[in-house]
Chains A and B, each alone.
Chain A
């Protein structure tokens, strides 16, 4: 397992460096080493797009320590706020602006757009046992 993890980390670094996404990394890992695809740690970044007043993906799962970046692709400003202020509020995001937050602590974080609060999403942060 530790060899597999080490391979996975090396491979991921290479893929990220090559500009490929985490989904591709997972998919390749599944093909190359089907046995550990499910327990493989997620990439240490995550991306959420804001498009047509919707967060995509609606639920994003990452490992503790991952940095999540929201990017506003709408022509109306949005802002990221979290339930119970569980993580820091973003400034207002104009078109093409981004906001990043690093999730150090495992847990389920519900967030919403503080400009249009009917827009909601969830970040699930899993323990990073590596």
Chain B
């Protein structure tokens, strides 16, 4: 990205075709909606010493046991160990999980996930993935994680002046479509944002990406444009997703979109495989270099938000 791309303000809605593959341990600082790489992880983290830090894990798929990962619960455990081993300038305030906690929505899989994730000793804010609504009555997820939420599990909360919004785009999906938020949730979102100052930093998290990455594989959300239209007036919007089991980033005006790695298995880059399923023949000794966690730091007053992706290994 060139220097001249950096002057995007809220009023200039130029779409930056900036789909970036973020390398291991590179810190992205977001300033005025445009990310800049600050260099290797250690020095960059040291520069971001104040504000709010939180963690993101995603796509743990507890119960998955096929190539290339015979034990997704095991690698979730490694991810939590990684969380506990992170040396951050400040203790993370909480963790978010962007869905596909389980592989098949079995109570035992949710139990196993909870047991391992609780070892991080952090509050966890969940949103569901499509794999979390596979029980026949589609109620295990909401019964377990949905206390105080609306509909199929959407909600918002505030932390250190940042407004967090957890959305559900995996419920009651329509044939031929992609992810879907639905009219009721969109109405709630519009209402939730009403009256908030445009200077309030917003973090939106949901399972399926809220921008269209690859419709042929359903990697997008049909009515995300409507949701984003309500966020247009805010100066700092960060959208965190999972689902695609790889890191991808895009910036559009003041909105930064970022997807996290899975803790379970990698999926191909868009169109680079026969299907969006697991990369079955991924070299076992390299698996942990493509699984991982993310930590996100918000520095107050400067409206800067930094996302650091850390692999389980390497």
Q: Which residues of A contact B (CB under 8 A)?
A: 52-54, 74-77, 79, 81-83, 91-92, 94-95, 110-112, 114-120
Contacts and interface: CB of A to CB of B under 8 A. Distances in A.
Given A75-B66, A92-B105, A115 B277 contact: no
A110 B175 contact: yes
A118 B103 contact: no
Interface stretch (B80-88, B130-138, B153-161): B130-138
B278 A75 contact: yes
A79 B277 contact: no
A75 B176 contact: no
Nearest to B214: A118
10 contacts: A53-B276, A74-B277, A77-B131, A92-B134, A115-B130, A116-B130, A117-B173, A118-B215, A118-B217, A119-B218
Interface of B: 66-67, 103-105, 130-131, 134-136, 173-178, 215-218, 274-278, 280
A98 to B, nearest CB: 16
Nearest to A91: B136
Nearest to A76: B277
A114 B19 CA distance: 29
Nearest to A52: B275
Chain A contact residues: over half helix, strand or loop, or mixed?
loop
Contacts of B278: 75-76
A53 B275 contact: yes
Most buried by A among B174, B275, B280: B275
A5 B173 CA distance: 43
Contacts of A82: 175
A74 B103 CA distance: 14
Nearest to A82: B175
B217 to A, nearest CB: 7
Contacts of A81: 175
B104 A94 contact: yes
Given A77-B134, A91-B136, A92-B105, A117 B174 contact: yes
Contacts of B177: 117-118
Most buried by A among B175, B176, B218, B278: B175
Nearest to A89: B136
Contacts of B173: 114-115, 117
Contacts of A114: 173
Given A77-B104, A77-B131, A117 B176 contact: yes
A83 B275 CA distance: 24
Contact of A120 (B66, B130, B175): B175
